[in-house]
Amino acid sequence: MKYIATLLGAAALALSTGAALADYPDRTINILVPFGAGGGTDVPARFFAAELEEILGQNIVVSNVEGAGGTIGATQLSRAPADGYNLGFAPVGTMTTQPHLKKTSYNAESWAPICMVSQGPYYLVVAKDSPIKTIEDYVAAANDGKLRFAGAGPGSIAHVAQLTLDKKLGVTTQYIPTKGGGDIATEINGGRAEATSWFADFGTRFGWRALAILSDQRSEEHPDVPTMAELGHDIQVSVWFGFFTQAGTPDNVIKTLSEACAEAVSKDRFKENMAGANRLIRYMDTATFGPFFNEAFELNGQLLKDAGLIK
């Protein structure tokens, strides 16, 4: 009788656990953004969270934990229970370059990537009056030892772009690290650097000219700018934002979140909000985003190692 009672108890527990998982979500969900409120990561995260809240039928609280290139927040998120109630919205740098540079406690195996939400491809740009008109000119200047590439600090995505270009084009350029933004513009427009990588507002914001887009697709904003693929070079560098949860999260929870993600990015309100903020939607489902993320993690780590930034 005791054995039967034990079996019945175990069965009841299994049924109750299954029912609880089937009811996901049944309480407030937290989405952590590892950068400050109102910043480049926070804005699309809040647009996305608003859609998820309606789709999932639960309150969603967005919190900001900033510092150390997003690694403070990401570390905190990685240590949260893998139950689907503590999720993250994070960019490529925090997830694929900072772990290598800072030797964080989290790595690619810490996460279950749910979906890519947004992506902003980089353009290879030069000053408006630069004598560098084509990729061939860029390569020639580099081979002559006369090409300096400005960007944010070592290990930034701009630095990854420079390292990728050097490797794929078979050249060596000098990297000039800055604090970003206006400092990069000062270097380029002042003639102390010949090139950098930037977003689609390179012309309206700084008056620069694009040699190519570091993507496999032309952009609607600059349809006349060729892709690196068209020019014979498989070079793709972008700042993307993804939706993550902890590795070990139950499959049914991942499935629910994945389906919600697909619905969220298709909503008219989300599209309008993103367009109004000049953000590009780029959706990848769970099956596609997972391998993409893991490949980016390994590739960026190798680039940083080749550059001598990590051992």
In the chain, the domains with their CATH numbers are 2-119+240-306 (3.40.190.150), 123-213 (3.40.190.10)
Q: Is the pLDDT of residue 16 over 50?
A: no
The model's pTM is 0.84
The Cα–Cα gap between 39 and 272 comes to 19
Distances (CA, A) of 275 to 44, 113, 217: 10, 25, 18
The Cα–Cα gap between 114 and 265 comes to 13
The Cα–Cα gap between 234 and 48 comes to 31
Q: Is the pLDDT of residue 8 over 60?
A: no
Q: Is the pLDDT of residue 5 over 90?
A: no
Instruction: Say how many C-beta atoms besides its own lie within 10 A of residue 287's C-beta.
Output: 11
Q: Tell me the two tokens of residue 89.
A: 């919205």
User: How large is the average pLDDT for residues 124-130?
Assistant: 97
The Cα–Cα gap between 305 and 311 comes to 6
Q: What confidence tens digit (pLDDT) does each residue in 220-263 have?
A: 889 999 999 999 999 999 999 999 999 999 999 999 999 999 99
User: How large is the average pLDDT for residues 112-131?
Assistant: 96
Q: Is the pLDDT of residue 19 over 50?
A: no
Instruction: Classify strands 148-151 and 174-177 as parallel, antiparallel or unpaired.
Output: parallel
